Structure 1
Amino acid sequence: MGWSVAATRTGGGGRVRGVAPAQLVLLLLAVLWFCVAGSGGVAHAAEEENLLPPEQAFRFAARQLDDRSIEVHFDIADGYHLFRERFVFAAQPAGVKLGTPEFPPGQVKFDEALGKQMEIYHGGVTIRVPVAVVPADGEWLLTVTSQGCADKGICYPPMHSVYKVGGGLLGGLFDKHRSSRPMTSPVPPAMPILPSLGEGQIGPAVPSAAPRNDDGDRVAHVLAGHQLGRIATVFFGLGLLMTLTPGVLAMVPILSSIVVGEHVTRGRALVVSLAYVLGTAVADAGVGVAAGLLGERFSTGLLTPWALGAFTMLAVALALSMFGLYELGRLPPMTASSNRWSGGRIAVAAAAGVISALVVVRSVPVPLSGTLTDAEQTGDAIGSGGALFGMAIGMGAPLVLVGVATGYLVPRAGHWLMVTKRFLGFLLLGEALWAVSPLLPPWALMAAWAMLLLIASAFLGAFGSLGPEPRSLTRLGKGMGMVAALAGAILLVGLASGGRDLLQPLSHLRAGLMAPASTAGPALVRFERIRSVAELDARLVQAAAAGKPVLLDFYADWCVSCKEMERLTFSDPRVQARLADVVLLQADVTRNSADDRTLLKRFGLFGPPGIILYGADGRESPVRVIGFQSASLFLDSLAKAFGDDGKH
């Protein structure tokens, strides 16, 4: 038979004279900003402008050799290549079974972005696909999934091409697509080739550029444009919105303690404040660049108990400085630097900014997670570094005003600073508890929060006397202390009586009083655990054969949002009813084993939580749930993903 050809579309100390140092720091900030905003954007624009459309870079053709074999051919343009690992062959309808595809040898090269050896094809590739079982009428569809890249490092999303076997003159090629926009650097590795897909079922979908249903999508959408000026500007705005988070608020007393001193002038306070903010920005940009360069190796390290423990210790150390145990700017290394040269306090401020940033970055999960996920998937170190640099500048802009006010308008020392430092110290301790909570058993977490609330209530004066003529702020502090004491006491009562729910410590008592004679509780969502890609593929084929949609949940014991989904979303009766006829699979990646990392990599996930949805036809839905969603939002996501498939 002849070839059927069609294009495929893709799915001090000393006093400062004047403000010359301030002008110097401002100039440095401006240079860094414009370098970030303009360096990569022009390069990306030029690269994308010179790229061939995907239908020209990878010309697809297929022909039927005989009843038992199909030949698939890709004509690859010069300067482009296809990955062998990205090929997936699937057939439908039920009854068609494919054999093991026969690939020619390719060129093996080490992919820097993926950190592994990859087999690729240049010029062209012809693949023979054996057919073990064919339908009686001889008509069926062969779906070929592939992915290619330009040698310069720009990759296209996975491509899906369909060849109709049989049907006489009506036979031929059909095209499917998800996106035709190229991406910088390869997306995460796809699943291995499936030599046999079972009874004609469509195989699991390759990670695609399809939009996901989560707040991180807005972040990814901005990053996907590769216009770093826009990226930095948007993330500057996001940073401004993050200024009231506990981590950023904790910077206020840290910066104030550095600024306050002898011979403080307005210009001096401005210079020190700018140096502090610049230190935070450089540290945050470094995190983004590291994510882009290391890819999966960065994410796996960041999610380990060691990393969570290190962040907790850093947050506790900063909290202790808030309580006056030590002053960050007066530690021996920083004091030595300050005494050695006239600009030492500026260096101290910059170093303190770097240290503070390591805590603050952890407290802004949505833009951070979205940025790091995009960096890991695309290897765009410049884009992610510029994004976090812009976000840090945005968060630090109000701090500059605070620093100038501290050094010029506000008394160098006062009761206000002591109260503020203590308050933010407790916020930092709370943030440390939040970070380490995935590593603690429920009873230990409840006990820790109870102790923190009771100690905070004592500092707020809950157990002291108001005095004969108390001020309004004193009354307010005592009231807040009493509320904290009550909350801590409730946690202790719940813990002592057997409760293990931090948000509802007495819920078990209420349930015991209101329970009917039957002790059966509400129906729970039961997941079937899968441990590897092979197990997942097998269950997907079975579910598709039965005509059932699939929900794949990524879970870990240390994942706070996973537990929130379990307690607040999956327990909702409406959600349980909607999932009654859905195959529920769960990948527990707590151990972070090689199989766990492979599963995460397959879907381009940074880590849990993440929910992947498949329709009853076995196709992966473009709708994904990344992060916590309330029951109502989750039901909306299911409706978009399943349509009528989830309603049986």
Structure 2
Amino acid sequence: MKIIQKISVFLYLAVLFCLNLSGMNPEDAFKWSCTMNESEFAVTVSVEKGFHLYENTTKVTLFSNGVELKPVRKPASISYEDKVFGKNNVYRGRSDFQWVFAIDRQKFPLELKLAWQGCSEATKDSEPVCFFPESREYTFSKLELTKSPVPLLKEKEAEIASGPADSNSEIPAFEIVRTESGYMASDMFLPFLKGEKSEMFLSFADKSFLLILILTFIGGIALNLTPCVLPMIPINLAIIGADAGKEHRLASMSKGLVYGLGIALAYGVLGLFVVLTGSSFGVIDSTWWFNAVVAVIFVLLGLSLFDVFMIDFSRYGSNFKMPSGAKIIGIFVMGVIAALLAGACVAPVVVAALLQASKMYNSGEHIGLILPFVLGIGMGLPWPVAAAGFSIMPKPGVWMKYVKYVFGVVIIIVGLYYAYTGIVIYTSLAESHKNIEKSMDSLVSALKESAKTKRLVFIDFRAEWCKNCKAMEKTTFKDPAVQNELKNFIVVEFDATDMANADIKKVLKKFDVSGLPTYVIARGK
């Protein structure tokens, strides 16, 4: 039970972190800039009073033609003890800290990589608050003499890194008419296309905060029925079902609670990150390596149920090894994995909760930041209940051997699916540039045509790893009524498979896309 207490304290601190975040912007606390002359390139960070950067996590790296340059001068740090990380060397404000590199005007481009993490300092009225670690990359294609420091602003990052944008790829002016996200059946999707009023659960506007909490919680429970979570149910049952029939109901519930806690914490932190950074849900699911790791884990767990080899799992009747055992931390980690996999599916309730959290946070109501955690708590709630049900199962017998094999087959199939997804993503990255160029050209052309003809543009933001996207392709988009209604639009299928790409990030941000699939109806101006 000690491990449960520790995890609970960690969850409490995470929520406390959200509630105490007082609107401070990292860009105001830590201001980065650079200067350049014919022989030197200097990077400066101005740390405001009451803040500090940690020396061990602050990295300033410069490459010239791919070769890393060593700084000729580095700033000095001081020893400082705070309540968050204890005693460390820090760059403490109010002061400027500078890294200077010797450069050769004949050896361009220069590539600059920055990474840092900082915290505020405790005062008599407030506790210290730490920002998320940040990193940025910039490319300087040629020597540009500067008379004064040039700010390295986040909104300029993509432009600096990419250079001047091709005029043919500039997104024309537009206005968003309406937008939707997640899987939608035909009877819900058609009213959206037609612009008719729908009773769908899309917005929390004009609702009390208590009602918002209740709806978010119920929506979190419903997330267990999304295509991303449904395949996990046999795995979840296998994990929390270890030792069923042999242990007390309270012990079974404790395992389910730890599993649900892993889901709640991971899903909450994932949502919190989306709200605070403006990034999109499902970014980690869009990487081939994440899908590959999940595939390996699931295949190994499945093979262990066929006794191909033994992992250190607990006994379940006659040599029945389950993928959790008495290892409470293992159950917690599997809950975290389940939440990360669920991030690839964006339901309307997720978008509604994230938009409401962002709106409340930006208006100074920081209590809204608990909404992603409420979603996660709702998603994790069924599993302690399910675990309690396992405790009254019949005693293990021969029949459990066949249950074990069924679980093993399902888990291996799920693992192979994620292996296939990882391969598809990896191969698609080889043609990433071509796909991005095609999507951008289609989007630009559609918006220009819309401005001339006044026809609306329907943009389908999708990805190869997006399960709800695949489900929409097989059902809703095959409905003759939907196909007929789409003829009234200029249709654009925007491939956002590589969500780490700077150009895709820019487009997703421009159209307020917080997850996939997202459907935007826009009008060119």
Candidates 566, 587, 598, aligned match of 2:494:
587
- Mapped pair 1:353 → 2:332: yes
Q: Are 1:312 and 2:295 an aligned pair?
A: yes
The aligned residue for residue 231 of structure 1 is 213
Give the C-alpha shift of residue 439 in structure 1. Answer: 5.1
Structure 1 match to 2:405: 422
Shift of 1:605: 1.8
Q: Give secondary structure in 2 for the equivalent of 1:257.
A: coil
Q: What are the equivalent positions in structure 2 for 1:54-133 lying under 5 Å apart?
A: none
CA separation of 1:351 and 1:382: change in aligned 2, threshold 3 A: farther
Alignment of 1:478-493 (within 5 A): none
* Deviation readout 1:342-379 (Å, 9 max, x if unpaired): xx986x12322322441365258556786489659948
Match of 2:65 in 1: none
Partner in structure 1 of residue 232 of structure 2: 247
Does 1:597 find its partner at 2:505?
Answer: yes
Write the distance in 2 (CA, Å) between the matches of 1:359 and 1:260: 25
Shift of 1:291: 4.1
Displacement, 1:401? 0.7
Task: Report how far residue 215 of structure 1 moved.
Answer: 6.1
TM-score by length of structure 1 reads 0.42
> What is the CA distance between 1:204 and its match in structure 2?
0.9
Residue equivalent to 2:173: 203
The answer to whether the 8 Å contact 1:530/1:586 transfers is no
Summarize deviations over 1:42-92 as a string: whole Å, max 9, x none.
Answer: x79x99xxxxxxxxxxxxxxxxxxxxxxxxxxxxxxx9xxxxxxxxxxxxx
2:180 to 202, 208, 212: 212
Name which of 610, 613, 623 aligns with 2:518: 610
Is 1:396 the counterpart of 2:368? The answer is no
In 2, the alpha carbon distance for the partners of 1:204 and 1:319 equals 50
Structure 1: how far apart are the matches of 2:480 and 2:347?
33
Letter in 1 for 2:286: L
1:267 positional shift: 4.7
Could you give the per-residue CA deviations for residues 384-442 of structure 1, whole angstroms, max 9, x where no partner exists?
54134313431323233135335xxx42x32343332322222223333444444567x
Q: CA 1:313–1:584 in 2, change beyond 3 Å: closer, same or farther?
A: same
Task: Identify the range of structure 1 (374-383 vs 554-563) with the bigger mean alpha-carbon deviation.
Answer: 374-383
The SS at the match of 1:605 is: coil
Paired residue secondary structure (1:296)? coil
Q: Give identity over the alignment, percent.
A: 19
Quick check: 2:462–2:469 contact (8 Å CA) kept in 1?
yes
Q: Mind listing any 5+ residue stretches in structure 2 that lack a counterpart?
A: 29-44, 48-154, 160-166, 185-198, 315-323, 425-434
- In the other structure, the counterpart of 2:285 is 302
Cα displacement (A) at 1:597: 2.4
Determine the C-alpha separation between the residues in 1 that align with 2:265 and 2:514.
23
Is the 2:457–2:521 contact (alpha carbons within 8 Å) kept by the matching residues of 1? Answer: yes
1:644 is matched with none
TM-score normalised over the length of structure 2: 0.50
What amino acid maps onto 2:383 in structure 1? G
Query: Quick one: higher RCO (CA 8 Å, sep 6+), 1 or 2?
Result: 2
Structure 1 residue 303 displacement after superposition: 0.7
Structure showing greater Rg: 1
Alpha-carbon spacing, 1:549–1:35, altered in 2? closer, same or farther (3 Å):
same
Residue correspondence of structure 1 range 9-88 to structure 2 within 5 A: none
Check the 8 A contact 1:239/1:393 in 2, yes or no: yes
Give the Cα–Cα distance (whole angstroms) in 2 for the partners of residues 386 and 239 of structure 1: 12
Paired with 1:358 and 1:268, the residues of 2 have a C-alpha distance of 22
1:322, distance to aligned residue in structure 2 (A) = 3.4
Q: What code does the residue aligned with 1:247 have?
A: M
What's the secondary structure of 2:512's corresponding residue?
coil
Q: Which amino acid aligns with 1:595?
A: D
Which structure 2 residues correspond to residues 210-609 of structure 1 after superposition, within 5 A? 212=180, 221=203, 227=209, 231=213, 234-235=216-217, 238-239=220-221, 242=224, 245-257=230-242, 264-292=247-275, 295-296=278-279, 299-325=282-308, 330=313, 348-359=327-338, 361-362=340-341, 366=345, 371=350, 378=358, 382-383=369-370, 385-405=372-392, 410-411=394-395, 413-438=396-421, 531=438, 536-537=443-444, 539-563=446-470, 565-566=472-473, 568-570=475-477, 573-580=480-487, 582-592=489-499, 593-606=501-514, 608-609=516-517
Question: Deviation at 1:572?
Answer: 5.0
1:608 shift after superposition = 4.3
Q: Distance in 2 between matches of 1:367 and 1:535?
A: 24
Output the CA distance in 1 between the equivalents of 2:485 and 2:379: 42
Match for 1:204: what amino acid?
A: F
SS of equivalent to 2:493 = strand
- Deviation of 1:598 after TM superposition, in Å, equals 1.9
Alignment gaps of 5+ in structure 1: 1-20, 48-78, 80-107, 111-187, 332-343, 442-527, 620-648
Q: Could you tell me whether the CA contact under 8 Å between 2:459 and 2:493 is conserved in 1?
A: yes
Q: Let me know the Cα RMSD of the aligned residues.
A: 6.0
Amino acid at match of 2:236: M
Q: Retained in 1: the 8 A contact 2:182–2:516?
A: no
Give the whole-Å Cα distance in 2 for the aligned partners of 1:591 and 1:294.
18
Secondary structure of the 2:241 match is helix
Tell me if the contact between 1:240 and 1:395 (Cα under 8 Å) persists in the aligned partners: no
Give the Å deviation of 1:581.
5.4
Per the alignment, do residues 224 and 572 of structure 1 end up closer, same or farther by CA in structure 2, a change over 3 Å counting?
Answer: same
